[in-house]
């Protein structure tokens, strides 16, 4: 009797077993045939969108409820008109350009700042921003038209070079202060709009140069899409998005399931970043890297172990921050029907500097590769392979890196003049040179870590080396305009007890 009872008894799964099973089901839902079929139905689409919007509103605490609301409106449009999603995106761009003309607050500061400096009473920064943005969009359309019409000209073949020359010629005119007050205010605001849309136009011109057939109106519609983000095109241009666009109901269902998973992960990472920042830098009292450098510059340095801890925490929290907001942005793009790659994908698993750079900030790395690495690689030192790779990496990770951020921070040029802004950026130039040097060595090393090297030399030491490198060069990247090079160098050597 007892044996029969025991043999027929079924052990209840523990709570941990249930949680692990739910986690497995969640992570595998985009591969589950039943879930994919459900997501492809009208009811499933409504449920997934409702869940996505609910989580996105939580993300609104970080990205802003206005941004979340525009994203929700855009996604509803894409869901109702999936075959017209490019037109929906273009319409959202028009809405965004009206509500928030600039991609970055650094650029949004320029219209009110120049109006105040010039004493222009009765001039509205908002109207100035709208007018300058409208002119930039018209100029962008003209540039696309002329490139398509005159393909064999130098400007059409080298669109980025043409844009860089034109932009900085206009900056030189602006800093010369030779224009009357109102035209000068408009020029600075136009430059802010130009800087905001610079890399979106660069991708549009590059796509057209590669003979992508997308209409110019659709290209312009990607200059400020409803997934927004910084002045860095997430998803590049029209040709790249087209490559990842869902082609049927099944692929669209899978893409939406992946979008929901990524959004939840992004919100959790953002919450983790905020909680750890509050816990470590707030309750525990560990200074941030910025604060540790500030105290050192003031002559009251923190103990070396605290400085090292600040570096390590800065490194880890920076990854969590980048991953959190970029997962949200990529999730919105995926929900719209484009299964683009993640921006940040397990960077802590990297065993080389080059691998980390590829995993940490994918779309920024892609921009540097597309516009600086490949042009240099295809043009120079063709008979010297190692020098070819090293020079192309230097052009991308150093020159291109600095140009991107210097253009983004145009407000520094307004505040300090061109030479003053360059001086404020000298530490970032050093940072980019160190980064380029590390990447060059990483790429040219003859031997990479292998599993047969053993657990320590394959799994542990390479990752510690990668983390240590990026921790240390962060000293030259932290708030470029606030610390002198002397302060940074002295703080760097103080970590090793030298100063």
The predicted model gives 174-188 an average pLDDT of: 95
C-beta of residue 31 within 8 angstroms of C-beta of residue 253: no
Between the CA of residue 462 and those of 38, 288, 352, 362, 465, what are the distances in Å?
Answer: 44, 26, 7, 21, 5
The predicted model gives 35-41 an average pLDDT of: 93
pTM of the full structure: 0.92
**Predicted local confidence at residue 1, as pLDDT:** 44
**Predicted local confidence at residue 412, as pLDDT:** 93
User: What pLDDT, in 10s, does the model give residues 236-279?
Assistant: 999 999 999 999 999 999 999 999 999 999 999 999 999 999 99
Higher pLDDT among residues 64 and 362, named by residue: 362
The predicted model gives 69-75 an average pLDDT of: 91
The predicted model gives 14-20 an average pLDDT of: 80
Of the listed ranges 103-107, 170-174, 465-469, the one predicted with least confidence = 103-107
Structure tokens at 90: 């273009």
Higher pLDDT among residues 450 and 50, named by residue: 50
The whole-angstrom separation of Cα 143 and Cα 191 is 16
**Predicted local confidence at residue 63, as pLDDT:** 74
What stretch of H or E contains 109? none
Structure tokens at 249: 């109901």
The whole-angstrom separation of Cα 310 and Cα 328 is 27
Read out DSSP for 248-296? SHHHHHHHHHHHHHHHHHHHHHHHHHHHHIIIIIIIS-PPPHHHHHHHH
- Residue in the block written with tokens 């969108």: 49
Task: Tell me the three state secondary structure of residue 338.
Answer: strand
**Predicted local confidence at residue 499, as pLDDT:** 66
Q: Which of 365, 301, 322 is nearest to 497 (CA)?
A: 301
- Is residue 67 classed exposed, middle or buried when 0-12, 13-18 and 19+ CB atoms within 10 A define those classes? buried
**Predicted local confidence at residue 59, as pLDDT:** 85
In the structure, what pLDDT confidence band is assigned to residue 58 with cuts at 50, 70 and 90? confident
Domain ranges, ordered by start, for the chain: 104-244, 250-495
Q: 74 CB contacts (<8 Å, ≥6 apart)?
A: 88, 89, 92, 225, 226, 227, 332, 336
In the structure, what pLDDT confidence band is assigned to residue 24 with cuts at 50, 70 and 90? confident
pLDDT at 196 over 90: yes
C-beta of residue 262 within 8 angstroms of C-beta of residue 342: yes
């Amino acid at each position: 009797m007892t044996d029969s009872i025991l043999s027929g008894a079924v052990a209840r799964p523990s709570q941990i077993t249930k949680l692990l099973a739910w986690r497995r089901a969640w992570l595998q839902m985009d591969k589950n045939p039943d879930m994919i079929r459900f997501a492809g139905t009208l009811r499933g689409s409504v449920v997934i969108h409702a869940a996505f919007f609910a989580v996105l509103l939580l993300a609104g605490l970080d990205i802003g409820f206005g941004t979340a609301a525009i994203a929700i409106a855009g996604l509803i449009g894409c869901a109702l008109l999936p075959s017209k999603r490019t037109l929906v995106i273009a319409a959202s761009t028009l809405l965004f350009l009206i509500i928030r003309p600039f991609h970055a607050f650094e650029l949004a500061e320029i219209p009110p700042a120049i109006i105040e400096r010039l004493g222009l009473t009765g001039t509205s920064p908002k109207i100035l921003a709208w007018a300058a943005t409208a002119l930039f969009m018209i100029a962008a359309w003209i540039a696309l038209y002329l490139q398509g019409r005159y393909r064999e000209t130098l400007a059409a073949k080298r669109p980025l070079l043409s844009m860089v020359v034109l932009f900085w010629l206009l900056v030189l005119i602006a800093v010369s202060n030779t224009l009357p007050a109102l035209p000068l205010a408009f020029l600075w605001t136009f430059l802010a709009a130009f800087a905001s849309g610079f890399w979106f136009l660069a991708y549009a011109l590059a796509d057209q140069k590669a003979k992508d057939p997308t209409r110019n109106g659709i290209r312009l519609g990607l200059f400020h899409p409803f997934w927004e983000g910084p002045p860095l095109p997430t998803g590049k241009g029209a040709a790249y998005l087209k490559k990842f666009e869902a082609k049927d109901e099944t692929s669209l269902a899978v893409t939406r399931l992946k979008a929901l998973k990524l959004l939840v992960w992004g919100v959790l990472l953002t919450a983790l970043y905020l909680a750890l920042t509050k816990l470590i830098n707030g309750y525990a009292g560990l200074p941030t890297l910025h604060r540790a450098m500030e105290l050192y510059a003031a002559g009251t340095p923190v103990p070396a172990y605290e400085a090292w801890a600040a570096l390590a925490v800065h490194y880890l929290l920076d990854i969590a921050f980048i991953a959190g907001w970029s997962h949200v942005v990529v999730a919105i793009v995926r929900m719209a029907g484009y299964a683009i790659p993640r921006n940040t994908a397990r960077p802590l698993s990297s065993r080389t500097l080059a691998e980390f750079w590829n995993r940490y900030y994918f779309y920024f790395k892609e921009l540097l590769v597309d516009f600086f690495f490949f042009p240099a690689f295809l043009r120079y030192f063709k008979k010297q392979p190692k020098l070819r790779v090293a020079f192309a990496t230097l052009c991308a990770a150093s020159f291109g890196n600095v140009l991107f951020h210097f253009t983004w921070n145009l407000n520094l040029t307004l505040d300090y003049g061109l030479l003053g802004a360059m001086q404020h950026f000298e530490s970032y130039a050093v940072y980019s040179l160190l980064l380029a040097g590390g990447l060059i060595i990483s790429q040219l090393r003859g031997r990479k870590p292998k599993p047969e090297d053993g657990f320590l030399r394959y799994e542990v030491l390479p990752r510690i080396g990668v983390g240590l490198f990026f921790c240390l060069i962060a000293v030259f990247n932290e708030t470029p305009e606030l610390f002198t090079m002397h302060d940074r160098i002295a703080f760097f050597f103080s970590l090793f007890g030298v100063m």
